[in-house]
C-alpha cells in the first residue's frame, strides 16, 4: 500500500470562480492542443491569458486621447449572408470613423471585408468589439496606429 500525503492550501486571494463557456468542439480541441504544445497546465490557463490579452489590447495608455488609424480585416464564408449583412450595418452605424471599406472574394468559399478606420481608441474599440461579437466570422485581425506619429519622408534621413 502506498500512502500519498497531500498538503492543500487555500488562499482567499487565489480563489477562482468556475464559469461555463459555450464553444464549438473544434475550437476546444485547438485550445487543448495549444495548451499541450506550449506547456500550459490546461485550457483554463490558456483562456485566462487570452482574456487578459484581449482586454489589455485597448487599455494602452499611450493610445488614449490620440487620433488613431485602424485596419480591420474580417474573413467569413460567403454562404453566411448574415455576416455580410452585419458588416453593412456596422459600416453605416460607424460611418463617422469608417474612412474606407473593401469587400473581396477569397478562395472558393470565403469573403474578406476590410475596414480602414480613423478615430479615438474608444471608437475603434467599440467597432472591433461589435465585429468580434458577430456570429459566424472565421477570423478577425486588426492593427491600430497613432496618426500623429507620421512624419514627412524628408525627415527620415
117: containing domain: 68-147
Q: Are residues 102 and 32 in the same domain?
A: no
Least confident interval from 4-18, 48-62, 97-111: 4-18
61-119 confidence digits (pLDDT tens): 777 788 899 999 999 988 877 888 899 999 999 999 999 999 999 888 899 999 999 99
- Domain containing residue 100: CATH number: 3.30.70.1150
Largest CA distance in the chain: 80
Q: Are residues 48 and 97 in the same domain?
A: no
SS3 of 96-136: CCEEEEEEEEECCCEEEEEEEEEECHHHHHHHHHHHHCCCC
Instruction: Give the β-pairing of 68-77 and 137-146.
Output: antiparallel
Least confident interval from 2-11, 21-30, 49-58, 70-79: 2-11
Least confident interval from 9-18, 20-29, 45-54: 9-18
CB atoms within 10 A of CB 58: 16
Q: Are residues 131 and 82 in the same domain?
A: yes
| The pLDDT of residue 9 | 46
Q: Are residues 52 and 78 in the same domain?
A: no
Residue 13 lies in a domain: no
| 8: pLDDT strictly greater than 70 | no
Q: Is 116 exposed, middle or buried (0-12, 13-18, 19+ CB in 10 A)?
A: middle
Task: Enumerate the β-bridge partners of residue 72.
Answer: 115, 142
Q: Are residues 37 and 88 in the same domain?
A: no
Give the total number of structural domains in the chain.
2
pTM: 0.65
Amino acid at each position: 500500500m502506498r500512502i500519498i500525503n497531500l498538503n492543500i492550501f487555500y488562499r482567499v486571494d487565489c480563489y477562482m470562480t468556475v464559469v461555463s463557456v459555450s464553444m464549438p468542439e473544434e475550437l476546444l480541441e485547438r485550445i487543448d492542443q495549444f495548451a499541450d504544445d506550449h506547456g500550459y497546465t490546461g485550457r483554463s490557463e490558456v483562456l485566462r491569458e487570452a482574456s487578459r490579452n484581449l482586454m489589455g489590447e485597448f487599455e494602452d495608455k499611450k493610445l488614449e486621447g490620440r487620433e488613431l488609424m485602424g485596419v480591420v480585416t474580417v474573413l467569413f464564408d460567403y454562404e453566411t449572408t448574415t455576416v455580410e449583412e452585419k458588416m453593412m450595418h456596422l459600416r453605416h452605424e460607424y460611418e463617422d470613423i469608417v474612412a474606407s471599406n473593401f469587400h473581396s472574394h477569397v478562395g472558393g468559399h470565403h469573403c474578406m471585408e476590410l475596414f480602414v478606420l480613423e478615430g479615438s481608441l474608444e471608437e475603434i474599440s467599440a467597432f472591433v468589439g461589435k465585429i468580434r461579437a458577430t456570429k459566424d466570422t472565421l477570423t478577425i485581425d486588426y492593427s491600430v496606429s497613432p496618426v500623429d506619429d507620421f512624419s514627412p519622408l524628408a525627415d527620415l534621413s
